[in-house]
Structure 1
Amino acid sequence: MAKSEHPDLNDVELTVVLSALSDPVRLGLVQLLADGAERQWGELDAPVSNSTLSHHLKVLRAAGVTRTRDEGIRCYVHLRSGDLEARFPGLLESVLNARGKGATTIGIKTA
């Protein structure tokens, strides 16, 4: 499995972050991850195929919005809240305050 690449947020443009957040599924993922918990990809319950979910997570990672950690065959993802706040003060708070306004609801799969 290839190691996930994460950009230095100092190199990330605001337009890249905003573009990543402009999709309803990605916005829903950010809202779910806003609780600060690290989530395993397999437990994310999104109304898209696994390959599409993987694409959305890759876009968020490439934009510096999330960080992915590989552990064996499992992948975990969490929101880079502190990094985003330092680079773009107030952006994440504004996005999260818009909860329910255009975001796709993403849940956690139960066993």
Structure 2
Amino acid sequence: MVLRHPDRDQIRIEGVLAALGNPVRMAAVRVLDGGGEHNCSSVLGILGVTAKSTMTHHWRVLRESGVIWQQPSGRENLLTLRREDLDARYPGLLDAILAGALRDEASQAAQHVGPSGG
């Protein structure tokens, strides 16, 4: 199977923002931002997703928008964040989006805890 990946100069801001606008895809990108290659199953486990079919669409959106590399390896696909390409096209964008996601998560967690601590 040949997977479509855009060249660096074909990556478009609207595609990247649309891909990262979904909470499941954003969570997957946060996992991949730790560096290295990850197989799909390991990312699914971290995200708590049990069905591979649930993620097929998300991987395609991330791949075709230029956010990730997805390379077949045996019966699995290896995923890598295209940080170098994204940083070259849109310097600071990925860092700002990931930092914003962390702030949103912390804010949401604080709202659930509330002032009484529980």
TM-score normalized by the length of structure 1: 0.83
Matched residue count: 101
**Match for residue 72 of structure 1?**
74
Structure 2 residue runs of 5 or longer lacking an equivalent are 106-118
**Match for residue 22 of structure 2?**
23
Q: Which gives a bigger RCO, structure 1 or 2 (Cα 8 Å, sep 6+)?
A: 1
- Letter in structure 2 aligned against 1:31: R
Cα shift at 1:90: 0.7
Q: Distance in 2 between matches of 1:47 and 1:76?
A: 18
Tell me which stretches of 4 or more aligned residues in structure 1 moved more than 4 Å: none
**Which structure has greater helix proportion?**
2
TM-score normalized by the length of structure 2: 0.79
Query: RMSD of aligned C-alpha atoms?
Result: 1.4
Identify the match of residue 52 of structure 2 among 43, 50, 53.
50
**Which structure has greater strand proportion?**
1
- Could you tell which deviates more after superposition, 10-19 or 22-31? 10-19
* 1:27-49, Cα deviation, whole Å (9 max, x unpaired): 00111110112100111223443
Partner SS state of residue 66, structure 2: coil
Identical columns (%)? 36
Q: Distance in 1 between matches of 2:69 and 2:99?
A: 22
